[in-house]
Copies of this chain bind each other. A is one copy, B any other.
Amino acid sequence: MSQEQPAPRPLIAVIGGSTATPDEETAAERIGQTLAHAGAVLVCGGRGGVMEAACRGAKSAGGLTIGILPGTTREQANPYVDIPIVTGMGEARNAIIVRSAQAVIAVGGSYGTLSEIALALAFGVPVIGLDTWQIRRDGHPVPPVAYATTPEEAVEQALAAARRVS
């Protein structure tokens, strides 16, 4: 009762393609590393490409990594996932990734990533984009997505947004 619980560490999602360009992987690895240095927990889809690079970066800095997997076995996780969550739900698991995060960093990505950005916006979870989808309506960019130009800036913006949300 009298024991104070420490404030829980922020959970930040990194989303992006399971196949990625070398530049995207470099950025994602740096993002994972920077998040871990800041004490954040990394949550992602647990697969390859951007997800694996982000997890590898986080582990290189002693961070904790959560992989919300689409399939039915934990073997599907990349080797840098500490905690594989096995949903068996396919892409419907995208909603869980973004709902569980206090901010989302999107790196590149294909349609699955776009669905995660859209769900985050629908749920009110802040999204920071790094060389990712541009979303427009009536010719105008949608304001809730903030665009960063470097991995460090993306992490800084994500952590600031997470503090405002929680």
Contact = CB atoms under 8 A, between A and B. Distances in A.
A87 B81 CA distance: 19
Given A86-B100, A136-B133, A137-B134, A79 B111 contact: no
Given A118-B118, A134-B139, A88 B90 contact: yes
A73 to B, nearest CB: 9
Nearest to A98: B86
A109 to B, nearest CB: 9
Contact of A85 (B9, B68, B72, B114): B68
Contacts of A114: 114, 118, 121, 135
Chain A interface mostly = mixed
Interface in A126-156: 133-137, 139
A99 B110 contact: no
Contacts of A117: 118
B99 A88 contact: yes
A41 interface: yes
Given A112-B122, A133-B136, A137-B134, A92 B96 contact: yes
Interface string A1-45: 000010011010000000000000000000000000000010000
A89 interface: yes
Nearest to A136: B134
A111 B115 contact: no
Given A111-B118, A115-B115, 15 more contacts: A5-B80, A66-B83, A72-B99, A85-B96, A85-B100, A86-B100, A88-B89, A91-B122, A111-B121, A115-B122, A117-B118, A133-B135, A133-B136, A135-B136, A136-B136
